[in-house]
A and B are shown apart, each in its own frame.
Chain A
Amino acid sequence: MNMSYEDYGKLVKKCSPNSPIFKTMPLSFLVGGTICAIGEAFRLWFVSLGMNKEHSGIWVSVILIFITALLTGLGIFHKIAKIGGAGTFVPITGFANSVVSPALEFQTEGFILGVSSKMFIIAGPVIVYGTIASIVSGIVFYIIELFGGSI
Protein backbone atom coordinates (compact mmCIF):
# COMPACT_ATOMS: atom_id res chain seq x y z
CA MET A 1 0.00 0.00 0.00
CA ASN A 2 1.78 3.08 -1.28
CA MET A 3 0.32 5.92 0.69
CA SER A 4 1.90 8.51 2.96
CA TYR A 5 0.69 8.82 6.55
CA GLU A 6 -0.63 12.28 5.66
CA ASP A 7 -2.67 10.99 2.72
CA TYR A 8 -3.96 8.13 4.82
CA GLY A 9 -4.94 10.60 7.55
CA LYS A 10 -6.92 12.56 4.97
CA LEU A 11 -8.69 9.41 3.76
CA VAL A 12 -9.55 8.46 7.36
CA LYS A 13 -10.96 11.92 7.93
CA LYS A 14 -13.05 11.64 4.77
CA CYS A 15 -14.48 8.26 5.82
CA SER A 16 -15.07 9.14 9.49
CA PRO A 17 -18.41 10.78 10.28
CA ASN A 18 -18.27 13.90 12.46
CA SER A 19 -20.39 14.40 15.55
CA PRO A 20 -23.78 15.85 14.54
CA ILE A 21 -23.19 19.17 16.32
CA PHE A 22 -26.46 20.70 15.16
CA LYS A 23 -28.21 17.98 17.16
CA THR A 24 -25.82 17.51 20.07
CA MET A 25 -25.23 21.18 20.91
CA PRO A 26 -28.90 22.19 21.40
CA LEU A 27 -29.46 18.95 23.37
CA SER A 28 -26.55 19.64 25.71
CA PHE A 29 -27.84 23.21 26.14
CA LEU A 30 -31.31 21.94 27.04
CA VAL A 31 -30.17 19.16 29.38
CA GLY A 32 -27.49 21.30 31.06
CA GLY A 33 -29.94 24.18 31.36
CA THR A 34 -32.56 21.93 32.93
CA ILE A 35 -30.06 20.65 35.52
CA CYS A 36 -29.07 24.22 36.39
CA ALA A 37 -32.74 25.27 36.55
CA ILE A 38 -33.44 22.42 38.99
CA GLY A 39 -30.52 23.58 41.10
CA GLU A 40 -31.76 27.16 40.99
CA ALA A 41 -35.27 26.07 42.01
CA PHE A 42 -33.83 24.32 45.07
CA ARG A 43 -31.75 27.40 45.88
CA LEU A 44 -34.73 29.73 45.70
CA TRP A 45 -36.74 27.34 47.88
CA PHE A 46 -33.98 27.23 50.52
CA VAL A 47 -33.68 31.02 50.47
CA SER A 48 -37.46 31.32 50.93
CA LEU A 49 -37.11 29.07 53.99
CA GLY A 50 -34.70 31.61 55.44
CA MET A 51 -31.33 30.02 54.54
CA ASN A 52 -28.50 32.43 53.71
CA LYS A 53 -26.90 32.66 50.22
CA GLU A 54 -23.74 30.70 51.06
CA HIS A 55 -25.51 27.78 52.74
CA SER A 56 -28.20 27.49 50.08
CA GLY A 57 -25.48 27.19 47.36
CA ILE A 58 -23.73 24.39 49.25
CA TRP A 59 -27.01 22.52 49.77
CA VAL A 60 -27.79 22.75 46.03
CA SER A 61 -24.43 21.09 45.26
CA VAL A 62 -25.11 18.38 47.84
CA ILE A 63 -28.53 17.66 46.37
CA LEU A 64 -27.32 17.53 42.75
CA ILE A 65 -24.49 15.19 43.79
CA PHE A 66 -26.96 12.98 45.65
CA ILE A 67 -29.37 12.81 42.70
CA THR A 68 -26.50 12.01 40.30
CA ALA A 69 -25.12 9.29 42.56
CA LEU A 70 -28.57 7.76 42.89
CA LEU A 71 -29.25 7.87 39.13
CA THR A 72 -25.77 6.45 38.41
CA GLY A 73 -26.42 3.58 40.80
CA LEU A 74 -29.80 2.91 39.19
CA GLY A 75 -28.14 2.79 35.78
CA ILE A 76 -30.07 5.80 34.49
CA PHE A 77 -27.47 8.58 34.52
CA HIS A 78 -25.38 7.35 31.58
CA LYS A 79 -28.54 7.18 29.47
CA ILE A 80 -29.30 10.84 30.21
CA ALA A 81 -25.63 11.69 29.61
CA LYS A 82 -25.74 10.02 26.20
CA ILE A 83 -28.33 12.60 25.18
CA GLY A 84 -27.03 15.49 27.29
CA GLY A 85 -23.28 15.25 26.58
CA ALA A 86 -21.54 18.33 27.92
CA GLY A 87 -24.87 19.34 29.47
CA THR A 88 -24.55 16.61 32.10
CA PHE A 89 -20.75 16.63 32.15
CA VAL A 90 -20.01 20.27 32.91
CA PRO A 91 -22.22 20.86 36.00
CA ILE A 92 -21.27 19.13 39.25
CA THR A 93 -23.30 16.13 38.02
CA GLY A 94 -20.46 15.06 35.70
CA PHE A 95 -17.97 15.13 38.54
CA ALA A 96 -20.25 13.12 40.83
CA ASN A 97 -20.87 10.54 38.11
CA SER A 98 -17.15 10.17 37.40
CA VAL A 99 -16.56 9.25 41.07
CA VAL A 100 -19.57 6.98 41.54
CA SER A 101 -19.28 4.99 38.31
CA PRO A 102 -15.78 3.51 38.94
CA ALA A 103 -16.66 2.97 42.62
CA LEU A 104 -19.61 0.85 41.51
CA GLU A 105 -17.79 -1.05 38.81
CA PHE A 106 -14.66 -1.94 40.78
CA GLN A 107 -16.60 -3.55 43.63
CA THR A 108 -15.49 -6.89 42.19
CA GLU A 109 -11.88 -6.08 43.20
CA GLY A 110 -12.89 -5.43 46.84
CA PHE A 111 -13.28 -2.30 48.95
CA ILE A 112 -9.58 -1.41 49.30
CA LEU A 113 -8.02 -2.26 45.92
CA GLY A 114 -11.28 -1.84 44.04
CA VAL A 115 -13.82 0.73 45.20
CA SER A 116 -11.63 3.15 47.16
CA SER A 117 -8.49 3.07 45.00
CA LYS A 118 -10.33 3.24 41.67
CA MET A 119 -12.88 5.82 42.82
CA PHE A 120 -10.80 8.76 41.59
CA ILE A 121 -9.34 7.34 38.37
CA ILE A 122 -11.39 9.80 36.32
CA ALA A 123 -12.00 12.58 38.86
CA GLY A 124 -8.44 12.52 40.29
CA PRO A 125 -6.98 15.04 37.82
CA VAL A 126 -9.86 17.44 38.50
CA ILE A 127 -9.14 17.32 42.22
CA VAL A 128 -5.35 17.63 41.80
CA TYR A 129 -5.41 20.54 39.36
CA GLY A 130 -8.38 22.17 41.10
CA THR A 131 -6.39 22.20 44.35
CA ILE A 132 -3.25 23.52 42.61
CA ALA A 133 -5.28 26.24 40.87
CA SER A 134 -6.82 27.32 44.18
CA ILE A 135 -3.35 27.53 45.80
CA VAL A 136 -1.99 29.58 42.89
CA SER A 137 -4.96 31.96 42.94
CA GLY A 138 -4.64 32.27 46.73
CA ILE A 139 -1.00 33.32 46.37
CA VAL A 140 -1.91 35.84 43.66
CA PHE A 141 -4.64 37.35 45.84
CA TYR A 142 -2.26 37.49 48.80
CA ILE A 143 0.37 39.39 46.78
CA ILE A 144 -2.24 41.82 45.44
CA GLU A 145 -3.47 42.55 48.97
CA LEU A 146 0.14 42.94 50.19
CA PHE A 147 0.57 45.90 47.85
CA GLY A 148 -2.63 47.47 49.00
CA GLY A 149 -4.94 46.15 46.31
CA SER A 150 -8.31 44.63 47.03
CA ILE A 151 -10.41 41.91 45.40
Chain B
Amino acid sequence: MNRPRGVIFFENPPSIVGFAAVAGDMEASGPLKGKFDKVFEGDMDGEKSFEKAESKMQLCAAKKAIEKAKLKFHDIDIAFAGDLLNQCIGTNYGLRELGIPFAGVYGACSTMAESISLSSVFVASGLIDRAIAVTSSHFCASERQFRFPLEYGGQRPLTAQWTATAAGAVVLSGKLKGNIKVRAICIGKIVDYQIKDMNNMGAAMAPAAVNTLVNFFKHTGTAPQDYDMILTGDLGQVGSAILSEIMDREGYPLKGKHSDCGLLLFDRERQDVHSGGSGCGCSAAVLCADVLDRLNSGKLKNVLFIATGALMSPTANQQGESIPGVAHLVFLEGSE
Protein backbone atom coordinates (compact mmCIF):
# COMPACT_ATOMS: atom_id res chain seq x y z
CA MET B 1 0.00 0.00 0.00
CA ASN B 2 1.44 3.32 -1.03
CA ARG B 3 -1.14 5.87 -0.02
CA PRO B 4 0.32 9.34 0.47
CA ARG B 5 -0.27 9.25 4.19
CA GLY B 6 -0.21 12.72 5.69
CA VAL B 7 -0.17 14.54 2.33
CA ILE B 8 -3.39 16.41 1.60
CA PHE B 9 -3.89 18.50 -1.56
CA PHE B 10 -6.80 20.93 -1.57
CA GLU B 11 -9.19 21.10 -4.51
CA ASN B 12 -10.35 24.47 -3.22
CA PRO B 13 -7.20 25.90 -1.65
CA PRO B 14 -7.90 28.26 1.25
CA SER B 15 -6.53 31.80 0.96
CA ILE B 16 -4.46 33.60 3.54
CA VAL B 17 -6.37 36.85 3.93
CA GLY B 18 -4.56 38.37 6.89
CA PHE B 19 -1.35 37.78 8.81
CA ALA B 20 0.58 39.53 11.56
CA ALA B 21 3.74 39.08 13.58
CA VAL B 22 4.79 40.61 16.88
CA ALA B 23 8.10 40.20 18.71
CA GLY B 24 10.21 41.16 21.69
CA ASP B 25 12.83 43.88 21.34
CA MET B 26 15.75 41.48 20.90
CA GLU B 27 14.00 39.71 17.99
CA ALA B 28 12.94 43.06 16.53
CA SER B 29 16.54 44.29 16.49
CA GLY B 30 17.66 41.29 14.42
CA PRO B 31 17.71 40.91 10.62
CA LEU B 32 13.89 41.32 10.42
CA LYS B 33 14.00 44.75 12.07
CA GLY B 34 11.06 46.95 11.06
CA LYS B 35 8.94 44.06 9.74
CA PHE B 36 6.91 43.34 12.86
CA ASP B 37 3.44 44.71 13.45
CA LYS B 38 4.28 45.48 17.06
CA VAL B 39 7.38 45.28 19.22
CA PHE B 40 7.12 44.47 22.94
CA GLU B 41 9.51 46.23 25.28
CA GLY B 42 11.50 44.32 27.89
CA ASP B 43 10.75 40.83 29.15
CA MET B 44 7.31 41.65 30.53
CA ASP B 45 6.09 44.74 28.67
CA GLY B 46 4.45 46.06 31.83
CA GLU B 47 2.78 42.76 32.76
CA LYS B 48 3.24 41.01 36.12
CA SER B 49 4.66 37.74 34.76
CA PHE B 50 6.40 36.35 31.69
CA GLU B 51 3.37 34.14 31.06
CA LYS B 52 1.04 37.14 31.05
CA ALA B 53 3.42 38.91 28.67
CA GLU B 54 3.25 35.94 26.30
CA SER B 55 -0.56 35.94 26.41
CA LYS B 56 -0.56 39.65 25.64
CA MET B 57 1.69 39.06 22.63
CA GLN B 58 -0.45 36.27 21.29
CA LEU B 59 -3.64 38.30 21.67
CA CYS B 60 -1.98 41.21 19.92
CA ALA B 61 -0.89 39.03 16.98
CA ALA B 62 -4.41 37.60 16.63
CA LYS B 63 -6.05 41.04 16.77
CA LYS B 64 -3.65 42.51 14.22
CA ALA B 65 -4.13 39.62 11.78
CA ILE B 66 -7.92 39.88 12.01
CA GLU B 67 -7.69 43.65 11.60
CA LYS B 68 -5.45 43.30 8.54
CA ALA B 69 -7.94 40.83 7.04
CA LYS B 70 -10.50 43.64 7.45
CA LEU B 71 -12.62 41.39 9.64
CA LYS B 72 -14.04 41.51 13.18
CA PHE B 73 -13.57 38.87 15.90
CA HIS B 74 -17.10 37.53 15.42
CA ASP B 75 -16.37 36.93 11.71
CA ILE B 76 -13.89 34.19 12.65
CA ASP B 77 -15.44 30.72 12.92
CA ILE B 78 -12.64 28.88 14.67
CA ALA B 79 -9.20 29.42 16.18
CA PHE B 80 -6.43 26.82 16.23
CA ALA B 81 -3.70 28.06 18.49
CA GLY B 82 -0.94 26.97 20.82
CA ASP B 83 2.32 27.71 22.57
CA LEU B 84 5.08 25.94 24.50
CA LEU B 85 3.87 26.36 28.07
CA ASN B 86 2.21 23.66 30.16
CA GLN B 87 -1.53 23.51 29.45
CA CYS B 88 -0.86 26.06 26.68
CA ILE B 89 -1.51 28.93 29.08
CA GLY B 90 -0.03 31.52 26.75
CA THR B 91 -2.89 30.71 24.39
CA ASN B 92 -5.71 29.95 26.84
CA TYR B 93 -5.35 33.26 28.64
CA GLY B 94 -4.30 35.17 25.56
CA LEU B 95 -7.30 34.33 23.40
CA ARG B 96 -9.78 34.15 26.29
CA GLU B 97 -11.35 37.52 25.54
CA LEU B 98 -11.85 37.01 21.81
CA GLY B 99 -14.89 34.73 22.09
CA ILE B 100 -13.87 32.69 19.05
CA PRO B 101 -14.55 28.90 19.11
CA PHE B 102 -11.15 27.58 20.11
CA ALA B 103 -9.21 24.36 19.67
CA GLY B 104 -5.86 24.22 21.44
CA VAL B 105 -2.87 22.79 19.60
CA TYR B 106 0.46 21.51 20.94
CA GLY B 107 3.20 20.59 18.52
CA ALA B 108 6.19 22.15 20.29
CA CYS B 109 7.96 24.33 17.70
CA SER B 110 5.88 22.80 14.89
CA THR B 111 2.71 24.42 16.25
CA MET B 112 2.40 27.13 13.57
CA ALA B 113 2.43 24.66 10.67
CA GLU B 114 0.07 22.40 12.60
CA SER B 115 -2.40 25.23 13.33
CA ILE B 116 -2.32 26.39 9.71
CA SER B 117 -2.79 22.79 8.51
CA LEU B 118 -5.82 22.21 10.73
CA SER B 119 -7.29 25.60 9.83
CA SER B 120 -6.80 24.85 6.11
CA VAL B 121 -8.56 21.47 6.30
CA PHE B 122 -11.49 23.01 8.17
CA VAL B 123 -11.80 25.88 5.70
CA ALA B 124 -11.28 23.67 2.62
CA SER B 125 -14.03 21.34 3.81
CA GLY B 126 -16.47 24.19 3.33
CA LEU B 127 -18.08 23.49 6.72
CA ILE B 128 -16.70 26.75 8.06
CA ASP B 129 -15.26 29.68 6.15
CA ARG B 130 -12.84 31.62 8.31
CA ALA B 131 -10.21 30.26 10.65
CA ILE B 132 -7.32 31.80 12.48
CA ALA B 133 -4.05 30.04 13.36
CA VAL B 134 -2.06 31.64 16.18
CA THR B 135 1.21 30.60 17.83
CA SER B 136 3.57 32.17 20.35
CA SER B 137 6.61 31.54 22.50
CA HIS B 138 8.42 33.59 25.13
CA PHE B 139 12.09 33.15 26.02
CA CYS B 140 11.75 33.81 29.75
CA ALA B 141 8.54 31.81 30.23
CA SER B 142 10.05 28.81 28.41
CA GLU B 143 13.41 28.94 30.15
CA ARG B 144 11.86 28.76 33.61
CA GLN B 145 9.63 25.86 32.57
CA PHE B 146 12.16 23.80 30.62
CA ARG B 147 15.58 24.87 31.92
CA PHE B 148 17.03 27.27 34.50
CA PRO B 149 16.07 30.61 36.08
CA LEU B 150 17.17 33.62 34.02
CA GLU B 151 19.70 34.90 36.53
CA TYR B 152 21.30 31.47 36.97
CA GLY B 153 24.94 31.67 35.97
CA GLY B 154 25.38 28.72 33.67
CA GLN B 155 27.03 28.42 30.28
CA ARG B 156 24.93 27.29 27.33
CA PRO B 157 26.59 24.88 24.90
CA LEU B 158 27.11 26.05 21.31
CA THR B 159 24.46 23.59 20.09
CA ALA B 160 21.77 25.25 22.24
CA GLN B 161 19.11 27.43 20.63
CA TRP B 162 17.42 30.59 21.85
CA THR B 163 13.64 30.47 22.34
CA ALA B 164 12.20 33.44 20.51
CA THR B 165 9.90 35.92 22.21
CA ALA B 166 7.45 36.30 19.36
CA ALA B 167 4.01 35.43 18.03
CA GLY B 168 2.39 35.08 14.64
CA ALA B 169 -1.17 34.76 13.41
CA VAL B 170 -2.72 33.85 10.06
CA VAL B 171 -6.37 34.26 8.99
CA LEU B 172 -7.58 31.80 6.33
CA SER B 173 -10.74 31.85 4.31
CA GLY B 174 -12.38 29.91 1.50
CA LYS B 175 -14.70 32.58 0.12
CA LEU B 176 -12.59 35.68 0.69
CA LYS B 177 -9.72 35.77 -1.76
CA GLY B 178 -6.13 36.59 -0.98
CA ASN B 179 -2.85 36.49 -2.87
CA ILE B 180 -1.51 33.49 -0.98
CA LYS B 181 -3.04 30.05 -1.11
CA VAL B 182 -2.44 26.94 0.96
CA ARG B 183 -2.12 24.36 -1.82
CA ALA B 184 -1.33 21.35 0.33
CA ILE B 185 -0.27 20.22 3.76
CA CYS B 186 1.66 17.23 5.02
CA ILE B 187 1.22 16.07 8.59
CA GLY B 188 4.45 14.52 9.82
CA LYS B 189 5.11 11.37 11.80
CA ILE B 190 6.81 11.26 15.18
CA VAL B 191 10.44 10.48 14.40
CA ASP B 192 12.93 9.65 17.12
CA TYR B 193 16.62 9.14 16.49
CA GLN B 194 17.47 8.75 20.18
CA ILE B 195 18.83 12.22 20.82
CA LYS B 196 18.76 12.87 24.58
CA ASP B 197 20.60 16.18 24.74
CA MET B 198 18.13 18.94 25.70
CA ASN B 199 20.69 21.42 24.43
CA ASN B 200 20.73 20.02 20.91
CA MET B 201 17.15 20.31 19.70
CA GLY B 202 18.21 20.81 16.09
CA ALA B 203 19.62 17.29 16.08
CA ALA B 204 16.42 15.92 17.63
CA MET B 205 14.23 17.60 14.98
CA ALA B 206 16.25 17.19 11.77
CA PRO B 207 15.19 13.54 11.10
CA ALA B 208 11.52 14.54 11.39
CA ALA B 209 12.06 17.30 8.81
CA VAL B 210 13.75 14.81 6.47
CA ASN B 211 10.92 12.33 6.90
CA THR B 212 8.18 14.86 6.10
CA LEU B 213 10.07 16.44 3.18
CA VAL B 214 10.94 13.11 1.55
CA ASN B 215 7.37 11.89 2.03
CA PHE B 216 6.06 15.05 0.36
CA PHE B 217 8.54 14.99 -2.55
CA LYS B 218 7.90 11.28 -3.22
CA HIS B 219 4.15 11.60 -3.33
CA THR B 220 4.09 14.80 -5.38
CA GLY B 221 6.89 13.72 -7.72
CA THR B 222 8.61 17.05 -7.10
CA ALA B 223 12.09 18.02 -5.95
CA PRO B 224 13.53 20.93 -3.94
CA GLN B 225 14.40 22.75 -7.20
CA ASP B 226 10.67 23.06 -7.99
CA TYR B 227 10.24 25.50 -5.11
CA ASP B 228 11.49 29.03 -4.46
CA MET B 229 12.14 28.36 -0.82
CA ILE B 230 12.18 25.44 1.58
CA LEU B 231 11.71 27.03 4.94
CA THR B 232 12.31 24.84 7.97
CA GLY B 233 10.93 25.86 11.35
CA ASP B 234 13.85 26.23 13.63
CA LEU B 235 16.58 23.67 13.15
CA GLY B 236 19.25 26.27 13.83
CA GLN B 237 22.78 25.97 12.52
CA VAL B 238 23.35 22.42 13.78
CA GLY B 239 20.01 21.00 12.62
CA SER B 240 20.28 22.74 9.24
CA ALA B 241 23.71 21.21 8.62
CA ILE B 242 22.36 17.76 9.50
CA LEU B 243 19.27 18.24 7.30
CA SER B 244 21.32 19.33 4.34
CA GLU B 245 23.66 16.36 4.61
CA ILE B 246 20.86 13.78 4.94
CA MET B 247 18.79 15.31 2.12
CA ASP B 248 21.86 14.93 -0.12
CA ARG B 249 22.06 11.25 0.79
CA GLU B 250 18.29 10.80 0.22
CA GLY B 251 18.66 12.14 -3.31
CA TYR B 252 16.89 15.47 -2.73
CA PRO B 253 19.74 17.99 -2.39
CA LEU B 254 18.43 21.30 -1.04
CA LYS B 255 21.18 23.32 -2.79
CA GLY B 256 20.49 27.00 -2.15
CA LYS B 257 16.77 26.47 -1.61
CA HIS B 258 16.87 25.97 2.12
CA SER B 259 16.33 28.68 4.74
CA ASP B 260 15.73 28.21 8.43
CA CYS B 261 13.53 30.46 10.58
CA GLY B 262 15.92 30.06 13.52
CA LEU B 263 18.71 31.52 11.38
CA LEU B 264 16.55 34.24 9.76
CA LEU B 265 15.20 35.71 13.00
CA PHE B 266 18.55 36.32 14.68
CA ASP B 267 21.98 37.41 13.55
CA ARG B 268 24.24 34.78 15.10
CA GLU B 269 27.31 36.96 14.70
CA ARG B 270 25.84 39.85 16.62
CA GLN B 271 23.24 38.24 18.88
CA ASP B 272 24.13 35.67 21.50
CA VAL B 273 21.84 32.87 20.34
CA HIS B 274 24.40 30.12 19.70
CA SER B 275 22.87 27.68 17.17
CA GLY B 276 19.98 30.05 16.30
CA GLY B 277 16.40 30.82 17.31
CA SER B 278 13.77 28.29 18.34
CA GLY B 279 10.36 28.14 19.98
CA CYS B 280 7.08 28.03 18.10
CA GLY B 281 6.94 31.82 18.02
CA CYS B 282 10.14 31.81 15.96
CA SER B 283 8.75 30.11 12.85
CA ALA B 284 5.38 31.84 13.32
CA ALA B 285 6.98 35.28 13.44
CA VAL B 286 9.41 34.69 10.55
CA LEU B 287 6.60 33.34 8.39
CA CYS B 288 4.21 36.19 9.20
CA ALA B 289 6.73 39.05 9.31
CA ASP B 290 8.74 38.19 6.26
CA VAL B 291 7.91 35.16 4.11
CA LEU B 292 4.16 35.75 3.71
CA ASP B 293 4.94 39.34 2.85
CA ARG B 294 7.27 38.21 0.06
CA LEU B 295 4.67 35.73 -1.22
CA ASN B 296 2.03 38.44 -1.09
CA SER B 297 4.09 40.85 -3.13
CA GLY B 298 5.08 38.21 -5.67
CA LYS B 299 8.77 38.09 -4.75
CA LEU B 300 8.30 34.43 -3.88
CA LYS B 301 6.04 32.13 -5.88
CA ASN B 302 5.96 28.91 -3.92
CA VAL B 303 7.27 27.99 -0.51
CA LEU B 304 7.36 24.80 1.52
CA PHE B 305 7.06 25.79 5.16
CA ILE B 306 8.10 22.92 7.44
CA ALA B 307 7.86 23.78 11.10
CA THR B 308 9.79 21.28 13.17
CA GLY B 309 9.00 20.45 16.78
CA ALA B 310 11.15 18.78 19.40
CA LEU B 311 8.56 17.06 21.60
CA MET B 312 10.73 17.50 24.66
CA SER B 313 9.47 16.95 28.17
CA PRO B 314 11.84 17.62 31.09
CA THR B 315 10.08 14.83 33.05
CA ALA B 316 10.54 12.21 30.33
CA ASN B 317 14.09 13.42 29.73
CA GLN B 318 14.97 13.01 33.40
CA GLN B 319 13.53 9.48 33.22
CA GLY B 320 16.04 8.73 30.48
CA GLU B 321 13.75 9.12 27.47
CA SER B 322 14.98 10.51 24.17
CA ILE B 323 13.47 13.56 22.45
CA PRO B 324 11.03 12.71 19.64
CA GLY B 325 10.67 15.15 16.76
CA VAL B 326 7.78 15.98 14.45
CA ALA B 327 7.57 18.20 11.37
CA HIS B 328 4.49 19.42 9.55
CA LEU B 329 4.60 20.90 6.07
CA VAL B 330 2.49 23.65 4.52
CA PHE B 331 2.75 24.26 0.77
CA LEU B 332 2.14 27.96 0.16
CA GLU B 333 1.66 29.47 -3.27
CA GLY B 334 1.58 33.14 -4.23
CA SER B 335 -0.69 34.39 -6.97
CA GLU B 336 0.52 34.13 -10.57
The stretch of B7-15, B25-33, B170-178, B240-248 in contact with A is B240-248
B217 contacts A by Cβ under 8 Å: no
Query: Is A105 an interface residue when CB atoms closer than 8 A count as contact?
Result: yes
Check if A12 is an interface residue, CB within 8 A of chain B: yes
- Once A3-B246, A5-B194, A108-B48 are accepted as A-B contacts, the answer to whether A15 and B203 lie under 8 Å apart by CB is yes
Q: Is B163 an interface residue (CB 8 A)?
A: no
B103 within 8 A of A: no
**For B153, what are the chain A residues with a Cβ–Cβ distance below 8 Å?**
72, 77-78, 80-82, 84, 88-89, 94, 97, 101
Write the nearest CB–CB distance from B305 to chain A, whole angstroms: 20
In the complex, chain A residues whose CB is within 8 Å of the CB of B144: 105-106
B151, A104: Cβ atoms closer than 8 Å: yes
Instruction: Please judge, given known A-B contacts A1-B214, A1-B246, whether A81 and B155 are in contact too, CB under 8 Å.
Output: yes
A108 B49 Cβ-Cβ under 8 A: yes
Which of chain B's residues has its CB closest to A68's CB? B153
Interface string of B122-153 (1 = CB under 8 A from A): 00000000000000000000001000111111
Chain B residues within 8 Å of A100, by CB: 151
Contact indicator B152/A12 (Cβ below 8 Å): no
Per-position binary interface string of chain A over residues 1-44, scored 1 when its CB falls under 8 Å from any chain B CB and 0 otherwise? 10101001101100111111000100000000000000000000
The answer to whether B148 touches A122, judged by C-beta atoms less than 8 angstroms apart, is: yes
Give CA–CA (A20, B155) in the complex, Å. Answer: 12
Nearest A residue to B204 via CB reads A12
Complex partner residue of B151 from A16, A88, A105, CB under 8 angstroms = A105
Taken residue by residue from 82 to 121, chain A's Cβ proximity to chain B (1 for < 8 Å, 0 otherwise) reads as 1011001100001001101110111010000000000000
Taking the closest CB of chain A, its distance from the CB of B265, in whole angstroms, is 20
Name A's interface SS. helix
Pairwise interchain contact A101-B152, C-beta atoms closer than 8 A:
yes
Tell me whether chain B's interface is mostly helix, strand or loop, or mixed.
loop
For the complex, give the distance between the alpha carbons of A58 and B194 in Å: 47
CA–CA, A10 to B157, complex, Å?
18
B246-A11 in contact (CB<8A) = yes
B155 touches A85 (CB 8 A): yes
Task: Say whether A101 contacts B149, CB under 8 Å.
Answer: yes
Partner of B241, one of A15, A73, A82, A84: A15
Report the contact-size class of chain A (Cβ under 8 Å from the partner): 35 or more
Chain A, Cβ-Cβ closest to B155: A85
Determine if A75 is an interface residue (Cβ-Cβ < 8 Å). Answer: yes
Q: Which residue of B lies closest to A72 (CB)?
A: B151
Decide: A9 near B194, CB < 8 A? Known: A1-B214, A16-B203, A101-B149. Answer: yes
- Interface contact B151-A101, CB-CB below 8 Å: yes
Q: Is the CB of A1 within 8 A of B203?
A: no
Q: Provide the residues of chain A in CB contact with B283, threshold 8 Å.
A: none
> How many angstroms between the C-alpha atoms of A71 and B287 in the bound complex?
39
What is the distance, in angstroms, from B278's C-beta to the closest C-beta of chain A?
A: 15
**Please, how many angstroms separate the alpha-carbon atoms of A19 and B159 in the complex?**
9
Cβ 8 A contact of B158, one of A19, A97, A98, A102: A19
Partner of A97, one of B151, B210, B250: B151
CB distance from A106 to the nearest CB of B (A): 8
Contacts of A98 in B (CB 8 A): 152
Contact indicator A1/B151 (Cβ below 8 Å)? no
User: Which A residues touch B152, using CB under 8 A?
Assistant: 78, 97-98, 101-102, 122
Residues on B with C-beta less than 8 A from A101 are 148-153
Distance in Å: Cβ of B46 to nearest Cβ of chain A? 14
A120 to B224, CA, bound (A): 51
CB distance from B241 to the nearest CB of A (A): 4
A16 pairs with B200, CB closer than 8 A = yes
What are 25 inter-chain pairs, A to B, with CB distance below 8 A?
A1-B191, A1-B246, A3-B193, A3-B246, A5-B193, A11-B242, A12-B238, A15-B203, A15-B238, A15-B241, A15-B242, A18-B158, A19-B155, A73-B151, A78-B153, A81-B153, A81-B154, A81-B155, A84-B153, A89-B153, A98-B152, A102-B149, A105-B151, A106-B144, A122-B149
Q: Name A residues whose Cβ lies closer than 8 Å to a Cβ of B.
A: 1, 3, 5, 8-9, 11-12, 15-20, 24, 72-73, 75, 77-78, 80-82, 84-85, 88-89, 94, 97-98, 100-102, 104-106, 108, 122
Instruction: Name the 4 nearest CB pairs between A and B, nearest first.
Output: A81-B153, A101-B151, A105-B149, A101-B149
